[in-house]
Chain A
Amino acid sequence: MAPTAMPEPLLRASPILECCDIAFERDFVPIFSGLSFALRRGEMLQVSGANGAGKTTLLRMLATSLTPSTGQILWRGECLERCRAAYRSDLIYLGHQAGIKAELTPRENLHWLLPFHPNASGSAEEALSAVGLSGLEDSPCVTLSAGQQRRVALARLHLSTATLWILDEPFTAIDRDGVSRLEQLMRAHTSRGGVVILTTHQPLGLDGVRLLEMEPYVCA
């Protein structure tokens, strides 16, 4: 929760997520280094770069799946190492693999995930109809198309009340209508004071998106 003593404008002005000079190496091979940025509430960051530039690595690092080799990440001014549990319950991460069980129905998929989002609100049915899957709640995910399976994963965004969304290629396999729905959803989230970090190769139909180019930080 936000500190109550701090007035709202000041709170918005101070960064909620800060990366200070982070570097990452895998098996002693440096991937990127010297990366710094700060995000305030209500901001959206698009990480861009060529294939293999380390976008997914950066996102997985921000999702606490990987630890930076040097440098540190601050969440609400506190070092991530010290507020990991609080950070994780305020975070939603959608990776390359959607995290969807093909044998389960969309409803079952959301139901088992619900308790893992501590502050989830709304019902699985509402979330599924919000991503345009009403009527398919009870058909096994194997029978759904790739895009529809992706929508099941995206339905989690409707359930969660997490502040930080980290989305790795969220538009993969999504049709045009789905893309605009997702963009609206992200816009609504940032206008509520949420933060979105995403990677995509698609041009975004949103303005005010900050761009982080990986190129200067990549180690040759």
Chain B
Amino acid sequence: MSAPDVVPTLATGRAFRALLARDLTLAFRHRGEMANPLIFFVMVATLIPLGVTPESRQLAVLAPGVIWVMALLASLLSAESLFLADYRDGTLEQLVLSPQPLWLMVLAKITVHWLVTGLPLTLLSPLLGIMLSLPAAGFGPLMVSLALGTAALSMIGAIGAALTVAISRGGLLLSLIVMPLYMPVLIFGASAVQLAVDGMSPAGNLAVLGALLAFSCLLSPFATAGALRVSLHG
């Protein structure tokens, strides 16, 4: 008798695609803002040889860690704005109140976040590898580990961003919340590259990164959706 409680999946798929397309369009219209974390990423890597040492043997030792730390900070920088604009203009409330499942809509937003930060970071990383004289053996693992790792970082960052969206100046709190969760990703990511540079197989570490990504994919959309509901209850 009553209206069906489950919304047709066709409409849900359309809503997912519509939100994905909307966020990509928005990111494209804010190209400058989108480029910000990338510029930060490249600039720091340029400054390291100037500030520390231009000597390639020493740089090669630093390279895996430095590139990974920069990628992590760039991802953290951009995580804060993940839900902020939507919160301010009221579209977040429309999403929360829509009959479509919120976790799926959150997944669409996280996917776009990765597409506009994690993916470009991954694609730029060989350039940074050259600048920091990363040995040739490290390039492949660097890209693979960054591709997997930044996706996990986007997933984790979304939880923090959702928790702090209603707080003015929530940036510091966001860092405190997500930093401990970022650590395993950083450790396994950087050491995968280091292992490859040292002539060992990075496969184990990359597998752990993949597992971290799978785990965060499973948990983060639901945690983020829950956190958004809590934030909007204020």
Contacts and interface: CB of A to CB of B under 8 A. Distances in A.
A207 to B, nearest CB: 31
Contact of B2 (A78, A95, A103, A118): A78
A90 B3 contact: yes
A85 interface: yes
A67 B232 CA distance: 11
Contacts of A104: 22, 25-26
Nearest to B22: A112
Contact of A98 (B8, B17, B90): B90
Interface in A5-56: none
B168 interface: no
Contacts of B15: 115-116
Interface SS majority for chain A: loop
B93 A115 contact: no
Contacts of B25: 103-104, 108
B201 interface: no
Nearest to A85: B5
A93 interface: yes
A147 interface: no
Contacts of B99: 85-86, 88-89, 116, 118
Nearest to B16: A115
Interface of A: 1, 3-4, 63-67, 76, 78, 83, 85-86, 88-91, 93, 95-104, 108, 111-116, 118
11 contacts: A1-B3, A86-B99, A98-B89, A99-B90, A101-B85, A101-B91, A103-B26, A108-B25, A116-B18, A116-B95, A118-B99
